């Protein structure tokens, strides 16, 4: 009896309020990209330029949620991905963008677009094309349910590889201490 | 206040406490009583006088919730915020008090006249709602009492001239058994124990072992074994510590013992000292019971005069007792946190082992026993193990004092033999239509009416004494939520699983309360249970989940009816989070709004 060829796992990735550093770390798995491509098929991702996510097995999201568009994208991922992973410090805690959370958004916009002489030409941008910022930056799990978290800024390539291969193999992902120790 | 004006205040206090660093908490507490708050200058002067780093002094001062590092007003009102206080309407009364005083909660108002804050259960559950004014308890608040308090404060009447009936606290003993009707004169139990010690090598300790007496604080460790280990431990000095830090919400039986049976408590401490070879005893009185201090000190003085304490205590070896008063920290009821606090430090539980019987107060062999345990030991000294064993069950000998409060007509202290059923207690207390009982406080077990035939005993339902009744119409979800906030507030902050875990627990419960909960939150509560149970450093963290665990298994509908139907919902309104940006940009187009996820 032959084992039926397993269909490849569909993987979607995106960056919300992040710096793409986590995506760079994903690419850092180097030569393991080739075995990865045997295991997975990319859906929506900066690597494929597919604009919207279809039904997927795994969604990998870096960055926190800072504006309305982030919310829409995150909801699209949650609705389509069986397993959703928060990738890196910003997705897990809000990270660097969340440094603005102790400032009032209105005062911030006023300072940048109205008061500060070097920037204040043209007033506060109000084009409907632009997503409106939320009053605070949130980690993913405050907006939708999140299944797994990969810590790090960015998480190491090895940590990402470990979690993805564990999930694909059907194991509960385990990150040994050396992969989550940063000092 | 400058440094020179401090010494008249500080010097007598330091002189009384002997200028040793392990009395730091007592010095700070008395200094605050004298000056109203702990100014930076006062902390610096204390640090200098005791030879301690200022950071250490500040660390201790900031740990205890009764110590104020900012001016807290001439009158400091702390409203007891226990579950039973709220059931009796404490929140509405607190608002009324604030209105009358023109005060905002948690702020000092009226040019430094008064502050109104909430504090954890003050142990007056049978006569709540209660408050502490400058540390002194006032029970049975109602509209009239609250108005009277407000008038007295606004008239700046000194506390010691307030009508005495405001402060009257009856003991409300409803059922007496062998302990509460012991009828022993002071000295009798000490003499009986000395006779036992003289008759056999193991004497009193052997009798205690034979009696099967187990600790009454809740954990139920065999008292005889504890005394034997302490007696056998190497060390040149030993200590007896009476744990009168009765902090478990809903418990007040130790308060009644201290008010009514102080002699018996000290008798138990003295004969414990004789049995293990200790010459000093320390009684750690919960800060909320500060009002009992004067009568306890008077009892000590009387006993010294009668020769029952001192060089030959009751005809035996030397023994004397010193009383320390806590300052509002639930965690100090944990025996090793209590020892830290007695040593003048932050009340952070130690690692166990080593246990206090070998490394206790100042690192010396120490017996730490509950107030009721020491009273029971005194009884056993007189009447013997056989008489004690006649009461109770096989593994739970003797009687147990219960603090009965909540929805029943006869609240107060009941002494029942161990093995009594929950239903028998409910009937004695006049609980008409109970739907649940919390046995042993929030860190104990909450049971529903299907379990009222269960027995109070170490075999079935162990208890430290709290017995809180919830009648029809009470919302058990809210009870659990309030308890979870209590644990988050009382976590000592030392270990992350407890510090963060209890706060996460509180925010998940708040989210469900606000109607943003989903199945995800129920799973999250489940996960936090195991994090706290496995990861926390001490019993506080291990038991902080109990109210949630018990209510979710028995009163699941009180959770479920609050859940939003979605798989997950944020804890806040996403569309409202865009409002500031909408206002700043003047936009109101569809893209500038966020609807529900569907």
B580 touches chain A (CB under 8 A): yes
Report the pLDDT value the prediction gives residue B492, as an integer from 0 to 100. Answer: 94
Buried b / exposed e along B95-123 (16+ C-beta atoms within 10 A): ebbbebbebeeeebbbeebbbbbbbbbbb
Min Cα distance A152 → chain B (Å) is: 19
Residue of A nearest to B584 (CA): A106
Residues A97-124 have a mean pLDDT of 88
Q: Rounded CA gap, A115 and B573, in Å?
A: 30
Both tokens of B375, joined, read: 């009273």
Residues in chain B: 598
Number of Cα atoms under 13 Å in the Cβ half of residue B506 = 17
B487 CB-near residues (< 8 Å, 6+ apart): B442, B502, B505, B540, B544
A2 pLDDT tier (thresholds 50, 70, 90): low
Which is it for strands A9-15 and A56-62: parallel, antiparallel or unpaired? parallel
Do the chains contact at B585 and A124, CB–CB below 8 Å? yes
Torsion of CA B374, B375, B377, B379, to 10 degrees: 170
Helices (H), B335-421: 335-342, 371-389
The pLDDT tens digits of the residues spanning B267-287 come to 999 999 999 999 999 999 999
Out of B518, B568, B578, name the one closest to residue A134 (CB): B578
A153: contact with B, CB 8 A cutoff? no
Q: What are phi and psi of B174, to 5 degrees?
A: -105, -25
Q: Are B346 and B492 within 8 A, CB to CB?
A: yes
Contact partners, residue B491, CB within 8 Å, separation at least 6: B331, B498, B499, B502, B503, B540, B541, B544
Nearest to B431 by CA among B403, B411, B446: B411
Q: B-chain residues within 8 Å CB-CB of A131?
A: 591
Mean pLDDT of B237-250: 97
> Considering only CB atoms, which chain A residues are within 8 Å of B598?
none
CATH number of A9-101+132-168: 3.40.50.700
pLDDT tens digits along B161-209: 999 999 999 999 999 999 999 999 999 999 999 999 887 767 999 999 9
Is A105 within 8 Å of B581 when comparing Cβ atoms? Answer: yes
Task: Mark yes or no for CB contact B580/A105 under 8 Å.
Answer: yes
A71 to chain B, any CB pair closer than 8 A? The answer is: yes
d(CA B77, nearest CA chain A) in Å: 32
Q: Which residue of B has its CA nearest to A124?
A: B585
> CA B545 to CA B483: how far, in whole Å?
9
The 3-class SS string of B50-85 reads HCCCHHHHHHHHHHCCCCCCCCCCCEEEEEECCHHH
Interface confidence, given as ipTM, is 0.79
CA distance A41 to A169: 15
- DSSP 3-state percent helix, strand, coil across chain B (nearest 5): 50, 15, 35
pLDDT value at position B52? 96
Q: Which one of A74, A134, A142 would you mutate to disrupt binding with B, by most B Cβ within 10 Å of its Cβ?
A: A134
Nearest to B580 among A71, A106, A125 (CB): A106
User: In sequence order, what are the residues at sequence separation of 6 or more whose Cβ sits closer than 8 angstroms to the Cβ of residue B553?
Assistant: none
B362 to chain A, any CB pair closer than 8 A? The answer is no
Residue A115's pLDDT is 87
pLDDT of residue B2: 56
Secondary structure string (H, E, C) spanning B513-556: HCCCCCHHHHHHHHHHHHHHHHHCCCHHHHHCCHHHHHHHHHCH
Q: Between chains, do A135 and B591 touch, taking CB under 8 Å as contact? A: no
Structural contact between residues A60 and A16, judged by C-beta atoms closer than 8 angstroms? no
Query: Do the Cβ atoms of A134 and B577 come within 8 Å?
Result: yes
Chain A residue with the nearest C-alpha to that of B521: A145
Q: Which long-range contacts (CB under 8 A, 24 or more apart) does A175-178 make?
A: A175/A150, A175/A151
Interface residue of B568, B575, B584, B595 to substitute, partner A, most A CBs within 10 Å? B584
Mean pLDDT to the nearest integer, B470-484: 94
Greatest Cα pair distance in chain B = 94
Share of chain A above pLDDT 90, in %: 71
From B98's Cα to the closest Cα of chain A, the distance in A is 30
Nearest-by-CA chain A residue for B519? A145
Of B520, B570, B589, the CB nearest to A128: B589
In sequence order, what are the beta bridge partners of B202?
none
Distance from CA of A23 to the nearest CA of B (A): 26
Contacts of B583 in chain A (CB under 8 A): 106
- Ordered by start, the domain boundaries in chain A are 9-101+132-168
Length of chain A: 183
- pLDDT, one tens digit per residue, over B225-234 is 999 999 999 9
Task: Tell me if chain B has a CB within 8 Å of the CB of A116.
Answer: no
Residues of B in contact with A135 (CB under 8 A): 577-581
B217 phi-psi bin (left φ>0, alpha ψ -120 to 50, beta other): alpha
A40: confidence class by pLDDT, cuts 50, 70, 90: very high
Cβ contacts from A onto B, under 8 A? 63
Provide the 10 A C-beta neighbour count for residue A136: 19
Which of B201, B202, B184, B203 shows the shortest CA–CA distance to B193?
B203
Query: Could you give the percent of chain B with pLDDT greater than 70?
Result: 99
Residue of B nearest to A68 (CA): B594
Instruction: State the pLDDT at residue A1.
Output: 53
Q: Is A30 exposed, middle or buried (0-12, 13-18, 19+ CB in 10 A)?
A: exposed
With 0.90 as the threshold, say if the pTM is over it.
Answer: no
Rounded alpha-carbon distances, angstroms, from residue A77 to A54, A86, A100, A139, B430? 9, 11, 25, 15, 58
Contact at CB, B579 and A135, closer than 8 angstroms = yes
Mean pLDDT value across chain B:
94
Between CA B565 and CA B410 the distance in angstroms is 43
pLDDT value of position B60: 97
pLDDT, one tens digit per residue, over B514-563 is 989 988 899 999 999 999 999 999 999 999 999 999 999 999 888 988 88
* Residues 6 or more apart whose Cβ sits within 8 Å of residue B524: B504, B508
Instruction: Indicate the helix (H) or strand (E) that contains B243.
Output: strand B239-244
What's the pLDDT at B202?
Answer: 78
Q: What is the average per-residue pLDDT within B48-68?
A: 96
Give me the pLDDT at residue B388, please: 97
Q: How far apart are CA B285 and CA B245, in angstroms?
A: 5
Q: Examine the pLDDT at A150 and tell me if it is beyond 70.
A: yes
Name the token pair of A18: 């992040």
> Which residue from A71, A128, A145 is facing B567, i.e. has the nearest CB?
A145
Residue range B70-95, pLDDT digits in tens: 999 999 999 999 999 999 999 999 99
Residue written as token pair 């606004």: B154
CA nearest A93: which of A145, A161, A60, A142? A142
Looking at residue A5, its pLDDT comes to 62
Q: Which of residues 82-121 of B touch A (CB under 8 A)?
A: none
CA angle in degrees (0–180, nearest 5) for B402-B172-B381: 55
- Inter-chain residue contact A106 with B583, CB threshold 8 Å: yes
B3, pLDDT greater than 70: no
Task: Assess A144–B contact: CB distance below 8 Å, yes or no.
Answer: yes
Residue A168 contacts B, CB cutoff 8 Å: no
Q: What percent of chain B has pLDDT over 90?
A: 89
Which stretch of DSSP H or E encloses residue B283?
strand B280-285
The tens digit of pLDDT for each residue in B380-408 reads: 999 999 999 999 999 999 999 999 999 99
Which of A58-62, A106-110, B371-375, B451-455 has the weakest average pLDDT? A106-110
Q: Is the pLDDT of residue B1 over 60?
A: no
State the Cα–Cα distance between residues B134 and B129, nearest whole angstrom.
17
Contact status of B577 with chain A (Cβ, < 8 Å): yes
Which residues of chain B neighbour A106 with C-beta distances below 8 Å?
580, 583-584
Nearest residue in B to A78, CA atom? B597
Q: What is the pLDDT of residues B417-434, one digit of tens each?
A: 999 999 999 999 999 999
Peptide bond into B588 cis (omega under 30): no
How far apart, in whole angstroms, are the C-alpha atoms of residue B23 and residue B4?
A: 22
Mean pLDDT, residues B216-237 taken together = 94
Q: Where are the alpha helices (DSSP H) in chain A?
A: 21-27, 33-39, 68-80, 89-93, 105-110, 157-169
Question: Does the beta carbon of B200 lie under 8 angstroms from any beta carbon of chain A?
Answer: no
Q: Cα distance from A118 to chain B (closest Cα, Å)?
A: 20
B520 — contact with chain A (CB < 8 Å)?
yes
Q: What is the mean pLDDT of residues B38-65?
A: 96
How far is B461 from B463, CA to CA, in rounded Å? 6
């Amino acid at each position: 009896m032959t084992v039926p060829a397993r269909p490849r796992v569909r993987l979607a990735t995106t960056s919300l309020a992040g710096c793409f550093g986590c995506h760079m770390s994903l690419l850092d798995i180097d030569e393991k990209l080739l075995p990865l491509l045997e295991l997975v098929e990319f859906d929506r991702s900066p690597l494929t330029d597919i604009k919207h996510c279809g039904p997927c097995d795994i969604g990998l999201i870096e960055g926190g949620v800072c504006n309305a568009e982030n919310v829409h994208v995150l909801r699209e991922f949650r609705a389509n991905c069986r397993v959703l992973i928060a990738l890196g410090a910003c997705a897990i805690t809000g990270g660097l963008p969340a440094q603005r959370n102790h400032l009032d958004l209105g005062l911030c916009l006023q300072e940048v677009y109205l008061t500060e002489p070097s920037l204040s030409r043209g007033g506060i941008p109000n084009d409907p094309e632009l997503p409106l910022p939320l009053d605070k930056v949130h980690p993913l799990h405050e907006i939708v349910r999140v299944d797994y978290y990969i810590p790090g800024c960015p998480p190491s390539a090895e940590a990402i590889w470990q979690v993805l291969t564990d999930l694909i193999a059907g194991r509960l992902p385990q990150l040994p201490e050396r992969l989550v120790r940063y000092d | 206040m400058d440094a020179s004006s401090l010494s008249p205040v500080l010097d007598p206090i330091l002189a009384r406490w002997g200028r040793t660093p392990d009395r730091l908490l007592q010095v700070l507490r008395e200094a605050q009583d004298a000056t109203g708050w702990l100014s930076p200058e006062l902390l610096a002067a204390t640090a200098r006088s005791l030879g301690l780093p200022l950071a250490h002094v500040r660390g201790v001062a900031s740990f205890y919730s009764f110590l104020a590092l900012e001016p807290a007003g001439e009158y400091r009102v702390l409203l007891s915020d226990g579950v039973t206080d709220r059931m009796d309407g404490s929140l509405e009364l607190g608002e009324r008090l604030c209105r009358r005083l023109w005060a905002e909660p948690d702020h000092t108002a009226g040019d430094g006249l008064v502050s109104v804050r909430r504090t954890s259960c003050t142990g007056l559950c049978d006569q709540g709602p209660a408050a502490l004014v400058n540390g002194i308890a006032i029970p049975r608040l109602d509209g009239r009492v609250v108005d009277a308090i407000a008038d007295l404060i606004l008239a700046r009447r000194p506390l010691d001239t307030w009508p005495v009936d405001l402060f009257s606290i009856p003991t409300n003993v409803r059922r007496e058994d062998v302990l509460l009707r012991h009828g022993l004169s002071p000295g009798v139990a000490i003499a009986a124990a000395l006779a036992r010690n003289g008759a056999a090598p193991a004497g009193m300790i052997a009798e205690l072992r034979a009696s099967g007496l187990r600790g009454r604080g809740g954990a139920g460790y065999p008292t005889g074994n504890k005394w034997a280990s302490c007696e056998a431990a190497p060390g040149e000095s030993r200590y007896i510590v009476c744990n009168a830090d009765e902090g478990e919400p809903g418990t007040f039986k130790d308060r009644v013992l201290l008010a009514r049976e102080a002699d018996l408590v000290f008798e138990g401490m003295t004969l414990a000292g004789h049995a293990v070879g200790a010459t000093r005893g320390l009684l750690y009185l919960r800060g909320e019971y500060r009002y009992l201090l004067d009568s306890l000190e008077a009892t000590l003085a009387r006993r010294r005069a009668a020769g029952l304490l001192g060089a030959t205590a009751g005809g035996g070896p030397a023994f004397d007792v010193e009383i320390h008063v806590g300052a509002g920290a639930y965690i100090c009821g944990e025996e090793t946190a209590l020892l830290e606090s007695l040593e003048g430090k932050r009340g952070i539980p130690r690692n166990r082992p080593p246990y206090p019987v070998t490394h206790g107060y100042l690192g010396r062999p120490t017996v730490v026993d509950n107030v009721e345990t020491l009273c029971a030991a005194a009884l056993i000294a007189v009447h013997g193990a056989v008489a004690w064993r006649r009461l109770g069950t096989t593994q739970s000998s003797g009687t147990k004092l219960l603090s009965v409060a909540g929805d029943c007509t006869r609240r107060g202290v009941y002494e029942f033999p161990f093995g009594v059923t929950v239903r028998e207690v409910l009937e004695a207390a006049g609980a008409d239509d109970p739907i649940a009982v919390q046995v042993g406080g929030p860190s104990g077990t909450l049971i529903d009416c299907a379990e009222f035939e269960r027995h109070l005993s170490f075999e079935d339902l162990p208890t430290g004494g709290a017995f809180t009744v919830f009648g029809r119409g009470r919302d058990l979800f809210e009870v659990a939520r309030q308890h979870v906030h209590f644990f988050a507030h009382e976590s000592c902050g030392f270990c992350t699983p407890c510090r963060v875990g209890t706060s996460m627990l509180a925010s998940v419960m708040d989210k469900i309360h606000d109607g943003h909960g989903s199945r995800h939150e129920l799973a999250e509560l489940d996960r936090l249970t195991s994090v706290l149970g496995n990861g926390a450093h001490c019993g506080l963290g291990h038991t902080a989940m109990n109210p949630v665990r018990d209510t979710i298994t028995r009163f699941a509908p009180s959770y479920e009816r609050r859940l939003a139907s979605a798989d997950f919902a944020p804890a806040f309104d996403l569309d409202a989070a865009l409002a500031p940006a909408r206002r700043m940009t003047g936009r109101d187009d569809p893209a500038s709004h966020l609807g529900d996820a569907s």
